[in-house]
Amino acid sequence: MRSPTSLLVSAFLAISATTSAASAATATVKDGGTLQLAGNVFRLDGIDALAVDQMCIDEHADSWACGVEAREQLTKLIGGKQVRCGDLGPDPSFKKRRLGLCIVEGETLSLGQLLVQKGFALADPKGKFKADEMAARDERRGLWKGCFAAPADFRLWKKDAALVGAACRADRDQQIRSVLFSADPVMPDGCTIKGKYAVRARVTGNVGIYHLQGCRSYPGLNNSERWFCSEEGAQAAGFRKAYNCGGKGK
């Protein structure tokens, strides 16, 4: 019987043979699960990745900018080498980007699987890398040494979601949730777009509204809840632009 790794590599080679997006190129990391390659933005297949502004609790019960760390871990995995991404088609969650099976030259495992193994991403619900996730959890790698909300729950701002990780404590549940779902989170470097969850955004099929620095609403918006590094990132998270922005602040 062929191993899961060999099956993955075979699938990648098959994709490479039929898609021009599989040519090697230098990648720009956007967040812990997204990269730009040869004019396309790819979300890594098979994982549920942290948002850049997501916060966690570390093993010492201190707040931890785990979303920024996940982005740095992906950058380290690439290490300046060329990357090949097999294009799996439009991302079902955001049509402006692609779903990609991405592998660093010289490696046999995909970037998504490596992130799950290191404990800096979760396997997606389809369970492609579920065994890797379980091993990372059991050995308390990466996120699993602390306490965090699953990325899918964070994106939906599910404050009552189940928390996971070795440092989750029932007697500090409310304090931990106040960090993981902060009403006034710290802005990650370079991520100046403010996001606010809003019921009124549901009229347009969104979960919230984002505000650019050029928006009239920007200076007075406190307790932003979310920070985004680009408009595309905000839109991918289900946010629409504030109507008072006009054409300003790209």
- d(Cα 207, Cα 155) in Å, to the nearest integer? 9
pTM of the model: 0.88
User: Is there a single domain that holds both residue 140 and residue 29?
Assistant: yes
Instruction: Report how many domains make up the chain.
Output: 2
* 229's tokens: 């590094």
**Is residue 187 in some structural domain?**
no
**Is residue 168 in some structural domain?**
no
**Is residue 134 in some structural domain?**
yes
Contact 213, 249 (CB under 8 A): yes
Contact 179, 206 (CB under 8 A): no
User: Is there a single domain that holds both residue 23 and residue 116?
Assistant: yes
Reply yes or no on whether the pLDDT at 125 is more than 90. Answer: no
User: Is there a single domain that holds both residue 102 and residue 211?
Assistant: no
Contact 228, 191 (CB under 8 A): yes
* 90 DSSP 8-state letter: E
Contact 234, 228 (CB under 8 A): yes
CA distances (Å), origin 200, targets 41, 84, 115, 240, 245: 29, 41, 36, 11, 17
**Is residue 182 in some structural domain?**
no
User: Is there a single domain that holds both residue 204 and residue 99?
Assistant: no
We report the CATH number of the domain holding residue 124 as 2.40.50.90
What is the tens place of the pLDDT at every residue in 2-12? Answer: 445 445 555 54
H helices of the chain, where? Answer: 4-18, 66-78, 111-118, 130-138, 151-155, 173-180, 231-236
User: Is there a single domain that holds both residue 35 and residue 105?
Assistant: yes
User: Is there a single domain that holds both residue 140 and residue 200?
Assistant: no
Q: Which amino acid is at 168?
A: C
What is the tens place of the pLDDT at every residue in 71-95? Answer: 999 999 999 999 999 999 999 999 9
**Is residue 92 in some structural domain?**
yes
61 conformational bin, left if phi > 0, alpha if psi -120 to 50, beta if neither: left
Task: Tell me what the mean pLDDT of segment 117-146 comes to.
Answer: 96
User: Is there a single domain that holds both residue 25 and residue 141?
Assistant: yes
Last residue in a domain, options 83, 112, 145: 145
| Banded pLDDT at 21 (limits 50, 70, 90) | very low
Q: Which domain holds residue 137?
A: 4-145
User: Is there a single domain that holds both residue 139 and residue 73?
Assistant: yes
User: Is there a single domain that holds both residue 104 and residue 30?
Assistant: yes
Reply yes or no on whether the pLDDT at 15 is more than 80. Answer: no
Last residue in a domain, options 145, 162, 184: 145
Q: Who has greater pLDDT, 232 or 4?
A: 232
Per-residue model confidence (pLDDT) at position 241: 96
Per-residue model confidence (pLDDT) at position 89: 96
User: Is there a single domain that holds both residue 78 and residue 10?
Assistant: yes
User: Is there a single domain that holds both residue 122 and residue 64?
Assistant: yes
Per-residue model confidence (pLDDT) at position 16: 46
**Is residue 208 in some structural domain?**
yes
pLDDT over 70, % of the chain: 89
Cβ contacts of residue 199 below 8 Å, gap of 6+? none
End-to-end CA, the chain: 52
| Banded pLDDT at 17 (limits 50, 70, 90) | very low
**Is residue 181 in some structural domain?**
no
Per-residue model confidence (pLDDT) at position 19: 40
User: Is there a single domain that holds both residue 201 and residue 88?
Assistant: no
What is the tens place of the pLDDT at every residue in 171-196? Answer: 999 999 999 999 889 999 999 999 99
**Is residue 229 in some structural domain?**
yes
Residue 230 burial (CB count, 10 A):
16
Per-residue model confidence (pLDDT) at position 7: 52
Last residue in a domain, options 82, 117, 145: 145
